[in-house]
């Protein structure tokens, strides 16, 4: 496979711009103002800056964060923008934006099933894919740092701006697509959801190329952002082989093929862990469900170790609490040395079923269910979204979107996860979006429900759910947060998502919180 070389737009001489330091210094805000005025250059590099009237600093939306094992560097996904941000944590500066490029779905072993009207039909098609990773994780092999991304895909769909369109509704360039009528049939590409913002390369009003959302894959990159591996069509091929009667089913439906026309299985969450001498990546598939386990001990040549789907397809996922685990959102690996029973564990929060499931990870990567906790609430309410684990207290902390709370589970016995306490987050502003724990300090990202375009907060708690320190104000719509390996800093990805009518679009940013200073604020 050809390696995709990362083109990096560096801040270069603009260092110092985009860096605003709190005098405390409690919080350092890394923004993207240094790239304002460079929107055309960003687009030429392949970075999507396309919100109506938005500057680069408004349009770039941080989503997920990975920190290098040595704590010196971090990488942040910009999902809608199809890019990564590189951060130097020694200087607290943005050192570059990395465009992730486009996937060639016409290549062998990189096809997709583009229609929900043709059963299982994975094939090369004349479509380019926007990788658009959601989650990213960093890991080391042989002293080298690698990144793995879950290429879910996402579109901007607001009352004031919609980029989605199906191929059947586009005017296709007759030279680029001489067989347009055939391609636009429902059983071909006609129902495939693509972006209207790319593809009219000559500006004549028709589309010369088609760009679909998400890579339907995982990618492995080096520390500079160069793609070393992409799984191609492996995920769809694997789920088709194992679940032929429910291929590309949605999390709220058992009907087969109904997500083929829009991002397919949607690999969303990813985490990495070592078992024995092997390194495994665990990938949650949001739509059809299940966890795909890849052996990434050789980062340029991963192999499938396991795919386990714990749904019960005989039950209605919209109403039946016994339908199994639906829509895995967040995943956490627990090494044997930190596990309650001395066995490596994988903890998965399943948004659709409100379940938090604990799996034992075998030496070859095989998964077996150890225990499960289901939060109260209607199926699909989002009562289990992002988990975090504290080895000292043997507790799991789960963002409960349905209750706007943080659920604390005792997993001292992994076969019987038990709710200890549910901490309301509404007093801190509203919905929790992410949680992380390090050294007995629990951090929760909380958005401002009264005004999602206003600043959010990070709440610091003890492992018993009591308040540890006063909340720290961060950027608009804080999403994922993560501690550095030594626990000295907390990084927060602030999406800065626009209002529904797109009249307000706050800046995206990354907040770096000095944990010691934060905990001193009582």
For residue 479, the tally of other CB atoms under 10 A from its CB is 26
Within 13 Å and on the Cβ side, how many CA atoms surround 113?
26
* Residues 210 and 73 placed together within one structural domain of the fold: no
Which residues, other chains included, contact 274 with Cβ-Cβ below 8 Å and sequence gap of 6+? Answer: 280, 335
CA–CA gap between residue 130 and residue 132 (Å, rounded): 6
131 neighbors 213 (Cβ within 8 angstroms): no
Q: What value does the mean pLDDT take over residues 173-177?
A: 98
Query: Is the pLDDT reported for residue 13 higher than 50?
Result: no
* Residues 177 and 250 placed together within one structural domain of the fold: yes
Q: How confident is the model at residue 344 (pLDDT cuts 50, 70, 90)?
A: very high
Query: Is the pLDDT reported for residue 1 higher than 60?
Result: no
* Residues 65 and 202 placed together within one structural domain of the fold: no
pLDDT value of residue 16: 36
Query: Last residue of a domain, which of 243, 262, 281?
Result: 262
396 neighbors 412 (Cβ within 8 angstroms): no
Query: Is the pLDDT reported for residue 11 higher than 60?
Result: no
Among residues 284, 150, 268, which one has the least CA distance to residue 219?
150
* Residues 86 and 130 placed together within one structural domain of the fold: no
Among residues 329, 334, 335, 325, which one has the least CA distance to residue 372?
325
Q: Please indicate, yes or no, if residue 47 is contained in any of the structural domains.
A: yes
The model's pLDDT over 104-148, given as tens digits with 9 standing for 90+, comes to 999 999 999 999 999 999 999 999 999 999 999 999 999 999 999
**Domain containing residue 92:** 9-97+429-522
Query: Is the pLDDT reported for residue 8 higher than 60?
Result: no
pLDDT value of residue 99: 99
Query: Is the pLDDT reported for residue 19 higher than 70?
Result: no
Domain count, the chain: 2
Cα 168 off chain centre by: 29
Residues in the chain: 522
Q: Please indicate, yes or no, if residue 358 is contained in any of the structural domains.
A: no
CA–CA gap between residue 401 and residue 430 (Å, rounded): 10
* Residues 56 and 90 placed together within one structural domain of the fold: yes
Query: Last residue of a domain, which of 213, 230, 262?
Result: 262
Q: Please indicate, yes or no, if residue 480 is contained in any of the structural domains.
A: yes
Q: What value does the mean pLDDT take over residues 396-421?
A: 98
Q: How confident is the model at residue 310 (pLDDT cuts 50, 70, 90)?
A: very high
Query: Last residue of a domain, which of 234, 262, 290?
Result: 262
* Residues 77 and 16 placed together within one structural domain of the fold: yes
Q: How confident is the model at residue 397 (pLDDT cuts 50, 70, 90)?
A: very high
The model's pLDDT over 211-251, given as tens digits with 9 standing for 90+, comes to 999 999 999 999 999 999 999 999 999 999 999 999 999 99
Q: What value does the mean pLDDT take over residues 28-36?
A: 98
CA–CA gap between residue 267 and residue 341 (Å, rounded): 29
Q: Please indicate, yes or no, if residue 505 is contained in any of the structural domains.
A: yes
Beta strands in 417-476 (DSSP E): 418-424, 432-438, 441-446, 455-461, 467-476
pLDDT value of residue 4: 41
* Residues 217 and 135 placed together within one structural domain of the fold: yes
In the block, residue with structure tokens 């058992």: 254
* Residues 70 and 141 placed together within one structural domain of the fold: no
The percent of residues in the chain predicted with pLDDT above 90, rounded, is 95
Q: Please indicate, yes or no, if residue 477 is contained in any of the structural domains.
A: yes
Instruction: Give φ, ψ of 283 to 5 degrees.
Output: -120, 125
The model's pLDDT over 42-96, given as tens digits with 9 standing for 90+, comes to 999 999 999 999 999 999 999 999 999 999 999 999 999 999 999 999 999 999 9
* Residues 142 and 81 placed together within one structural domain of the fold: no
């Amino acid at each position: 496979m050809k390696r995709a070389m990362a083109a990096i737009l560096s801040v270069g001489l603009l260092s110092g711009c985009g860096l605003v330091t709190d005098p405390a210094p409690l919080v350092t805000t890394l923004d993207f103002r240094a790239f304002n005025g460079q929107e055309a250059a960003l687009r030429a590099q392949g970075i999507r800056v396309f919100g109506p009237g938005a500057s680069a600093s408004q349009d770039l939306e941080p989503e997920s964060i990975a920190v290098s094992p040595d704590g010196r560097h971090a990488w942040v996904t910009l999902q809608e923008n199809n890019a990564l941000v590189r951060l130097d944590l020694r200087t607290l500066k943005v050192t570059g934006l990395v465009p992730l490029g486009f996937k060639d779905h016409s290549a062998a072993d990189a096809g997709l099933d583009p229609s929900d009207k043709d059963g299982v039909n994975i094939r090369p098609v004349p479509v380019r894919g926007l990788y658009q990773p959601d989650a990213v994780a960093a890991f080391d092999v042989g002293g080298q740092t690698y990144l793995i991304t879950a290429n879910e895909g996402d579109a901007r769909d607001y009352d004031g701006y919609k980029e989605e369109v199906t191929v059947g509704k586009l005017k296709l360039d007759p030279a680029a697509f001489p067989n347009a009528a055939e391609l636009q049939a429902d059983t071909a590409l006609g129902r495939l959801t693509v972006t209207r913002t790319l593809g009219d390369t000559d500006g004549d009003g028709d589309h010369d190329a088609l760009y679909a959302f998400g890579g339907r894959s995982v990618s492995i990159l080096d520390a500079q952002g160069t793609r070393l591996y992409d799984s191609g069509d492996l995920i769809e091929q694997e789920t088709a082989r194992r679940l032929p009667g429910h291929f590309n089913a949605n999390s709220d439906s058992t009907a087969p093929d109904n997500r083929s026309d829009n991002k397919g299985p949607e690999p969303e969450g990813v985490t990495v862990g070592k078992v024995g001498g092997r390194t495994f990546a665990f990938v949650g598939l949001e739509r059809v469900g299940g966890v795909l386990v890849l052996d990434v001990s050789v980062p340029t040549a991963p192999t499938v170790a396991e795919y386990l789907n714990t749904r019960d397809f005989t039950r209605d996922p919209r109403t039946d609490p016994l339908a199994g685990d639906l829509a895995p959102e967040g995943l956490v690996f627990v090494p044997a040395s930190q596990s309650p029973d001395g066995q490596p564990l994988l903890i998965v929060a399943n948004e659709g079923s409100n379940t938090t499931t604990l799996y034992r990870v075998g030496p070859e990567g095989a998964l077996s269910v150890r225990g499960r906790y289901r939060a109260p609430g209607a199926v699909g309410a989002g009562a289990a979204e992002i988990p975090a684990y504290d080895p000292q207290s043997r507790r799991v902390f789960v963002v409960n979107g349905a209750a706007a709370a943080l659920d604390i589970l005792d997993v001292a016995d992994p076969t019987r996860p038990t709710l200890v306490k549910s901490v309301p987050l509404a007093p801190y502003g509203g919905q929790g979006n992410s949680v992380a724990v390090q050294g007995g300090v629990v951090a929760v990202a909380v958005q401002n429900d009264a005004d999602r375009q206003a600043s959010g907060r990070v709440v610091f708690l003890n492992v018993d759910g009591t308040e540890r320190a006063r909340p720290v104000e961060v950027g608009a719509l804080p999403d994922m947060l993560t501690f550095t390996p030594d626990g000295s800093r907390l990084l927060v990805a602030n999406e800065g998502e626009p209002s529904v009518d797109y009249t307000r679009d706050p800046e995206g940013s990354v907040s770096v919180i000095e944990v010691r200073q934060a905990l001193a604020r009582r």
